[in-house]
Amino acid sequence: DTAVSQTPKYLVTQMGNDKSIKCEQNLGHDTMYWYKQDSKKFLKIMFSYNNKELIINETVPNRFSPKSPDKAHLNLHINSLELGDSAVYFCASIGRLAGEQFFGPGTRLTVL
Partner 1 sequence: DAKTTQPPSMDCAEGRAANLPCNHSTISGNEYVYWYRQIHSQGPQYIIHGLKNNETNEMASLIITEDRKSSTLILPHATLRDTAVYYCIAISAINTGTASKLTFGTGTRLQVTL
Residues that bind partner 1 (CB under 8 A): 4, 30-31, 33, 41-45, 48, 50, 55-56, 58, 88, 90, 92, 94, 97-106
Q: Is the peptide bond before 8 cis (omega within 30 degrees of 0)?
A: yes
* Nearest distance, CB of residue 53 and partner 1, angstroms: 9
* Nearest distance, CB of residue 12 and partner 1, angstroms: 16
Q: Are 92 and 101 in contact (CB under 8 A)?
A: yes
Please say which residue, 8 or 16, places its beta carbon nearer to partner 1.
Answer: 8
* Nearest distance, CB of residue 16 and partner 1, angstroms: 27
Please say which residue, 83 or 97, places its beta carbon nearer to partner 1.
Answer: 97
Q: What are phi and psi of 65, to 5 degrees?
A: -130, 110
Q: Are 92 and 5 in contact (CB under 8 A)?
A: no
